[in-house]
Amino acid sequence: MEEVCEGKEFSFPTQEEKILSFWSEIKAFETQLERTKDLPEYIFYDGPPFATGLPHYGHILAGTIKDIVTRYQTMTGHHVTRRFGWDCHGLPVEAEIDKKLGIKRRDEVFKLGIDKYNEECRGIVTRYVGEWEKVVVRVGRWIDFKNDYKTMDIKFMESVWWVFSKLFEKGLVYKGFKVMPYSTGCKTVLSNFEVQQNYKDVPDPEIMVTFPIVDDPLNAAFVAWTTTPWTLPSNLALCVNGNFDYIKVRNKYTGKVYVVAECRLSALPVEKPKSTANGPAGDLKTSSSKTKSGKAEKLLDSYDLLEKVKGNELVNKKYEPLFNYFTEFSDTAFRVVADDYVTDDSGTGIVHCAPAFGEEDYRVCIANQILSKENLIVSVDDDGCFIEKITDFSGRYVKDADKDIIEAVKAKGRLVKSGSFMHSYPFCWRSDTPLIYRAVPSWFIRVEEIKEQLLENNKQTYWVPDYVKEKRFHNWLENARDWAVSRSRFWGTPLPVWTSDDGEELIVMDSVAKLEKLSGVKVFDLHRHNIDHITIPSSRGPEFGVLRRVEDVFDCWFESGSMPYAYIHYPFENVELFEKNFPGHFVAEGLDQTRGWFYTLMVLSTALFGKPAFRNLICNGLVLAEDGKKMSKSLKNYPSPMEVINDYGADALRLYLINSPVVRAETLRFKKEGVFSVVKDVFLPWYNAYRFLVQNAKRLEVEGLAPFTPVDATTLQNSSNVLDQWINSATQSLVHFVHQEMDAYRLYTVVPYLLKFLDNLTNIYVRLNRKRLKGRTGEEDCRTALSTLYNVLLISCKVMAPFTPFFSEGLYQNMRRVCTESEESIHYCSFPQVEGERNERIEQSVARMMTIIDLARNIRERHNKPLKSPLREMIVVHPDVDFLDDIAGKLKEYVLEELNVRSLIPCNDALKYASLRAEPEFSVLGKRLGKSMGVVAKEVKAMSQIDILEFEKAGEVTIASHCLKLSDIKVVREFKCPDGLTDREVDAAGDGDVLVILDLRLDESLYEAGVAREVVNRIQKLRKKTGLEPTDAVEVYFESLDEDKSISQQVMNSQELYIRDAIGSPLLSSTLMPPHAVILGEESFHDISKLSFTIYLARPALVFKSDAILLLYGGNTKSVHGLETYLLSRDHSNLKSEFQLGDGKITVDAIEGFPARNVVLGEHVLLTVGDSVLRTKGL
């Protein structure tokens, strides 16, 4: 394996760029697809985005989710076709062209020419494709851009035609005149789910208007309330609720007589004379009545009750029209009708009906023969302006005309009250103009007819999170309305409907071939300007003329909903591929698509095949700016994706997004610092564990040993080392967990588990195993430990490859150098499988061990006892005998070393050092128990210690006929200090499971061990300060600065083995430092455990046996000096290697006047001062 740099010098973005080049060089994605082509298909539908804008974090999030799932499915044995798609038609594209060409009215498109307009649209559709590909590729997503699909391609459009024709054959298509949400900005109808996308709180006018009753003896008038004054010129009826009581009241001050619902009398204004200094005056003062009850007395002061009738009694009463634009309807219109849609929560209980501008208005007026569908007049044109028939306001935009219409009503003496109120109102999601409801002829899909099947199909799908399916999506399906799929626009897939002028003949095309056959015209493109001119001869004969295509195009949601069929040109191609794999396995998009793409997919698949379109779905939430607002280019309240990637890398961004609430359909406030935290908390620890492996594997070669080759996995599974057993089992648990969660599409649970795993790997396995990994327990044990670390890192890289494709690949490429049989890329590897038995007992024991270490450290901190100060004893209390055996047996050495404690005593008597008491978990039990809570709480608190122990053992207890589980009762353990001792001498800490007790009393016999740890700590810090790598060999010298040097000497002697073990070499007296030693770093320390000293770090220095060398050269002192000079000039590590290769000997022929001589290691020279000291001591 190649050497690697320090974590602080490692650039994740730079490494990722190298990996991208590597993937490109080996054609990694293409090769993966080729290698898996014979495996079972996993069908993934990629929803097509518009290419008229740049990708944002929402796209990156959804793309990352898709990439993780499809990479995982590939590694688990599937062939996953991944083709990028583009939504090319519809309002977003037309809106750009309208803006570019300054088009504001529909007729301006016809003047320009539909051909030129559509080609302008085609020209901008792929404007940002290059930018999209750059970002998507840089994020690490593998998807095919070369073989992408576009909704404007003739094959895609032909499949859309086929979908529509099949629905038509099934009787699910009809043409209707329906009041629909209409965008005057985009000049088209919007579907119900499009309306939901852009509601705003805005002020609108509210007015009350009188409609005088014809031939009423008291000149009474109906009073209606409206928030759309612009609809008043089109009024044709008034609607009451037949079940409500209506009253006729006279204003005491004006004499005016009004008819309103009794329950809405409070809505009328309160009128009374203005008071003056001289008494009452004739002028009236009007104030609004805001509540039903609070103003009752004032209303009675203002009005006299004249009559009370049921709403049904008012039906067919005629009234005087407000305007005279529709006098031709006088015979049937301008009368009262009744319907239950009239409510008592607002207005006057009387609704003004303009059938062309209200869905309920239209229904009620048609049902009551106010007019027929055929003679409905829509008084507002496609641009939202009044037609010529509305003479007073002709050409005016309806919303702009509101004020003038109110003034006209006032001038007629028909205005009762006017004002303004705030309410939530729908705006066009593209043009951001207020929507109006307008009767338009449209082609509809009968969604209401298949509603029950939609709900049943929804049950067959699996969603993450499931509440989006069970609530939001279910509710949307429950209230599904027939879907208007046609748009009076230009750039889209034309409806394949040809009709005769008299409407008697209608043909729906299901293919290009059918159109060519019936028309005799060769078709090369299906857009309007290329087929609108094509006619079909009437089957009834020439005298009946020809059939022409209807002008409408499809709603682009119909196209994207057809994607599962159209992107593979089904049924014209790929029939077997589709029919074997439908429904598709997986889709993923944002929460807004519950009313968009998810909905249209479900509607069309249900209508066509009676099945859902997909089996599994991940629904993500919205990514907001850090301030909680929507990300805005104008506000510049978020960093660009490429900025974040260039700073921290794509892998870090991917994990940040996946490890957030946004994957559970909640919102995420994007913080760049959060991405940095992923680098710091995930990638650097992971990298450092990998670097530690590489350094120590290279060290074997430096020391002249055989290069590192990992021991086979089967042998490693049988390692006798407890930490090897533990990390192997923990790795298998990681594999099992990720398999389990990925198969359930719960991506968000994986990263927290990985974080914990990496923390355990670095802070338990590597930290507690340093001696073994550094070779201080023998070469064989070292190779076993390194092989275990290698195997764990290799498996974790494969497990995380779908999540972090770059980093996993980078580590794998270096690690595969020492593996004889390995794939060229980690992304060609199979996903790891659980191998062998997992040792759950040892996993739990090590977890508890780390808890014990944390608890003991907390006790030390409370009493200001640093870890460098050794303590005499600790007691671990737990009822599990197996755990105590582990902690007092094979795990004992790690606990004692980590906590610097001399002995560990296990205890399974829970009551020896603690008293127990039980408390009810009120937050858990409160709602469940209700009134019984008090009785249960009292009995829980009264539980004896024996009761509590039995409860913990059984896992449940019945109290007051309620069965309580472990989660319902909190068991509190309170430490009982042993007799004769204070809590300053002995203290404890627990977590409800295990109790740790520390003896904190000073013991002079531990003083020397404490000093030794202080010295080792200073040596390690000086190594780091000097910039040394862990594998850099140095010799450490100690010089006492105390007058009485005997104390430090005694410490060095008694703790010699501990210090040598800790620093990897003997601690040498400074008096042994040879004059040719090269000092790399030195530092003096004062009053450290009452001692002062200087530490020197020096390069390993040769020690010469002058007498033996003199004998080698026949007593020639000049030659002795020459050999020493020659050997000192050599590179120390190379010289060491030569001695190892020469079996402890090297031949030197560089001494002038002397033939070659064999210089023997140990006899003539020693490689280090440490070797000399150890040899002198006979070690």
1151 lies in the same domain as 1027? no
| Residue 300 token pair | 């009675």
Domain membership of residue 403 (yes or no) is: yes
| Average of per-residue pLDDT across 569-586 | 94
Burial class of residue 830, CB neighbours in 10 A (0-12, 13-18, 19+): exposed
Using the 3D structure, point to which of 790, 812, 840 is the last residue of a domain: 840
Which pLDDT value is given to residue 281? 39
| Average of per-residue pLDDT across 1072-1087 | 92
For the chain, the average pLDDT equals: 89
Which pLDDT value is given to residue 274? 54
Known catalytic membership, residue 597 = yes
Question: Could you tell me which of 45, 123, 131, 55 has the C-alpha nearest to residue 85?
Answer: 45
Domain membership of residue 142 (yes or no) is: no
Q: Which helix (H) or strand (E) holds 456?
A: helix 451-459
d(C-alpha 295, C-alpha 287), whole Å = 11
Which pLDDT value is given to residue 984? 84
Which pLDDT value is given to residue 1179? 58
Is the pLDDT confidence value at 9 over 80? no
Domain membership of residue 1072 (yes or no) is: yes
User: Between the CA of residue 170 and those of 569, 606, 609, 610, what are the distances in Å?
Assistant: 21, 12, 11, 12
Domain membership of residue 371 (yes or no) is: yes
Judged by DSSP in three states, 802 sits in coil
Which pLDDT value is given to residue 1? 66
pLDDT digits (tens, 9 = 90+) for 759-818: 899 889 998 988 899 888 888 999 999 999 999 999 999 999 999 999 999 999 999 998
1075 lies in the same domain as 1038? yes
Which pLDDT value is given to residue 512? 96
Question: Looking at 15, 32, 48, 178, which residue is catalytic?
Answer: 48
CB 260 within 8 A of CB 246: yes
Domain membership of residue 330 (yes or no) is: yes
Task: Work out the angle between the directed axes of helices 129-138 and 641-648 (0-180°, nearest 10).
Answer: 30
CATH of the domain at 1070: 3.30.2320
Known catalytic membership, residue 230 = no
Is the pLDDT confidence value at 202 over 70? yes
User: Between the CA of residue 93 and those of 391, 489, 634, 665, 1114, what are the distances in Å?
Assistant: 35, 11, 21, 29, 97
Question: Which regions of 451-559 does DSSP assign to beta strands (E)?
Answer: 462-464, 483-484, 486-487, 497-500, 506-508, 536-537, 546-549, 553-554
Q: What is the DSSP letter of 1027?
A: T
Residue 756: phi, psi to the nearest 5? -65, -40
Alpha-helix residue ranges (DSSP H) falling in 744-865: 750-760, 767-768, 770-773, 779-800, 805-815, 840-862
d(C-alpha 1151, C-alpha 1131), whole Å = 18
pLDDT grade, residue 285 (50/70/90)? very low
Domain membership of residue 775 (yes or no) is: yes
Question: Looking at 225, 491, 557, 686, which residue is catalytic?
Answer: 557
Is the pLDDT confidence value at 291 over 50? no
Domain membership of residue 20 (yes or no) is: no
pLDDT grade, residue 192 (50/70/90)? low
1033 lies in the same domain as 1170? no
Known catalytic membership, residue 292 = no
Which pLDDT value is given to residue 930? 84
Which pLDDT value is given to residue 1119? 85
Which pLDDT value is given to residue 7? 63
1068 lies in the same domain as 1171? no
Which pLDDT value is given to residue 299? 64
1092 lies in the same domain as 1134? no
Which pLDDT value is given to residue 1031? 74
Is the pLDDT confidence value at 302 over 70? yes
Which pLDDT value is given to residue 179? 84
CB 220 within 8 A of CB 248: yes
Whether the bond between 212 and the residue before it is cis, its omega within 30 degrees of 0, is no
d(C-alpha 759, C-alpha 753), whole Å = 10
| Average of per-residue pLDDT across 1124-1147 | 87
pLDDT grade, residue 1072 (50/70/90)? very high
Question: Looking at 66, 67, 86, 87, which residue is catalytic?
Answer: 87
Question: Looking at 99, 100, 633, 1021, which residue is catalytic?
Answer: 633
Longest alpha-carbon distance in the chain: 149
Which pLDDT value is given to residue 1064? 86
Question: Looking at 15, 593, 725, 813, which residue is catalytic?
Answer: 593
1092 lies in the same domain as 1111? no
Known catalytic membership, residue 630 = yes
pLDDT digits (tens, 9 = 90+) for 962-994: 888 888 888 887 888 887 788 788 898 888 778
| Average of per-residue pLDDT across 944-967 | 88
For the ranges 443-447, 632-636, 939-943, the lowest mean pLDDT is seen at 632-636
Is the pLDDT confidence value at 131 over 70? yes
DSSP 838-901: --HHHHHHHHHHHHHHHHHHHHHHHTT--TTS-EEEEEEE-S-HHHHHHHHTTTHHHHHHHHTE
User: Between the CA of residue 695 and those of 2, 599, 773, 1031, 1067, what are the distances in Å?
Assistant: 9, 55, 10, 6, 23
Is the pLDDT confidence value at 284 over 70? no
d(C-alpha 353, C-alpha 233), whole Å = 11
d(C-alpha 474, C-alpha 458), whole Å = 7
Judged by DSSP in three states, 188 sits in strand
CATH of the domain at 760: 1.10.730.10
pLDDT digits (tens, 9 = 90+) for 644-693: 999 999 999 999 999 888 888 888 888 999 999 999 989 999 999 999 99
Question: What residues have CB less than 8 Å from 543, skipping those under 6 apart?
Answer: none
Domain membership of residue 5 (yes or no) is: no
| Average of per-residue pLDDT across 527-544 | 92
Which pLDDT value is given to residue 94? 86
For the ranges 176-180, 394-398, 683-687, the lowest mean pLDDT is seen at 176-180
Using the 3D structure, point to which of 840, 855, 882 is the last residue of a domain: 840
d(C-alpha 353, C-alpha 350), whole Å = 10
Is the pLDDT confidence value at 49 over 90? no
Question: Looking at 86, 230, 483, 597, which residue is catalytic?
Answer: 597
* Percent of residues, the chain, with pLDDT higher than 70: 96
| Residue 969 token pair | 């009762």
* Percent of residues, the chain, with pLDDT higher than 90: 51
CB 871 within 8 A of CB 1000: yes
d(C-alpha 750, C-alpha 734), whole Å = 9
Residues in the chain: 1179
1080 lies in the same domain as 1122? no
Is the pLDDT confidence value at 296 over 80? no
pLDDT digits (tens, 9 = 90+) for 90-113: 877 888 888 889 887 778 899 999
Which pLDDT value is given to residue 231? 95
Is the pLDDT confidence value at 197 over 70? yes
CB 949 within 8 A of CB 910: yes
Known catalytic membership, residue 633 = yes
286 lies in the same domain as 355? yes
| Residue 255 token pair | 């004499």
Question: Looking at 308, 517, 630, 1118, which residue is catalytic?
Answer: 630
Residue span of the structural domain in which 375 resides: 205-422
pLDDT digits (tens, 9 = 90+) for 249-282: 999 888 999 999 998 898 888 766 654 444 343 3
The owner of tokens 């088209």 is: 188
Which pLDDT value is given to residue 278? 43
pLDDT grade, residue 213 (50/70/90)? very high
d(C-alpha 169, C-alpha 1141), whole Å = 87
Q: Per the structure, how many domains does the chain have? A: 4
Which pLDDT value is given to residue 273? 60
d(C-alpha 1149, C-alpha 565), whole Å = 83
β-bridge partners, 257: 250
Known catalytic membership, residue 593 = yes
1056 lies in the same domain as 1111? no
1165 lies in the same domain as 1112? yes
CATH of the domain at 369: 3.90.740.10
1013 lies in the same domain as 1032? yes
pLDDT grade, residue 293 (50/70/90)? very low
Question: What residues have CB less than 8 Å from 237, skipping those under 6 apart?
Answer: 333, 334, 335, 336, 337, 353, 355, 361, 364, 365, 368, 370
What is the rounded (10 degree) CA torsion for 258, 264, 267, 272? 50
d(C-alpha 263, C-alpha 250), whole Å = 16
Using the 3D structure, point to which of 789, 819, 840 is the last residue of a domain: 840
369 lies in the same domain as 415? yes
